[in-house]
Amino acid sequence: MEAVERALSILDAFDAAHPVLSLANIATRTGFYPSTILRLTASLIRFGYLHRGGDGRFRLGPTPLRLAVLYRESFRLTDYVRPALAELVERTGETAAFYVREGKHRICLYRHYTPRLVRHHIEEGAGLPLDRGASAHVLMAFGGEARRRDEAVRQRGFAVSLGERDPETAAIAAPVFGSDGQLVGAVGIAGPLSRFQDSDLQAPTQAVLDAAMGLTRALGGTWPGFGAGT
């Protein structure tokens, strides 16, 4: 198991900014000894995951592309989002939803209700405004339209809304990115304002961030390094 994880760590060392790496580069980015890297890369080269050029540098081989094609053909966003929403509800006790932007609106693409009797209610497919609400701020902040009011969201990596769209509702949301680095959508929770005001928001905020980071990784994306965090 340890050898497999180390081999995967070597593959993770490659990204858009570093498509070709030397042995020293891989050692720096993984923390592994050169002897360990050479032993693992031999297997990765044999199975087509890596290629080593005449200059001794490494690049990805054809196997990742073949797997990527299979992934695209079998990919369904719902298979990733719905389990993440269910886990978010279990962790926070609030209704969880995934929003995408459509023109001047945000659309609730998926949602998972909390079993609590008093809860936030929204139907899948419902359209909401982009000028207010936690997920709206996330979609605007990371969707390519820079608004000064959303600068704090870009710095922190999440948005909190307390009675903004609905005076009795609060929400927390964070961005989800795809393999191309572009925003896919916003994942978050919403519930009665009183439950957010009467509790520390650090735990539910971290739960939302964990869901966003997990979905980003599942979709092949990289979670950016935000400034303030939680």
What is the per-residue pLDDT for 102?
85
- The segment(s) of the chain belonging to CATH 1.10.10.10 are 2-73
Angle between helices 202-218 and 77-92 (to 10 degrees): 160
What is the per-residue pLDDT for 198?
64
What is the per-residue pLDDT for 149?
77
Q: State the DSSP code for 53.
A: -
The residue with tokens 């990527």 is 68
Look at residue 135 and give its three-state secondary structure.
Answer: helix
What is the per-residue pLDDT for 74?
57
Whole-model pTM: value is: 0.67
The CATH number of the structural domain formed by 76-218 is 3.30.450.40
Give the H/E segment covering residue 218. helix 202-218
Give the H/E segment covering residue 107. strand 105-112
- The segment(s) of the chain belonging to CATH 3.30.450.40 are 76-218
Return per-residue pLDDT of the chain as tens, 230 residues. Answer: 889 999 999 998 998 788 999 999 999 999 999 999 999 999 999 999 999 999 999 999 999 888 877 766 655 888 899 999 999 999 999 999 999 988 888 989 899 988 887 777 777 878 888 888 999 999 999 987 767 778 889 889 999 998 887 888 899 999 999 988 889 999 999 998 888 876 688 999 999 999 999 999 998 888 887 644 44
Instruction: Choose which CATH entry (3.10.20.30, 1.10.10.10, 3.30.70.920, 3.30.930.10) describes domain 2-73.
Output: 1.10.10.10
What is the per-residue pLDDT for 75?
57
Count CA atoms closer than 13 A to 62's CA, side-chain side. 1
Rounded CA-CA distance 35/49 in Å is: 19
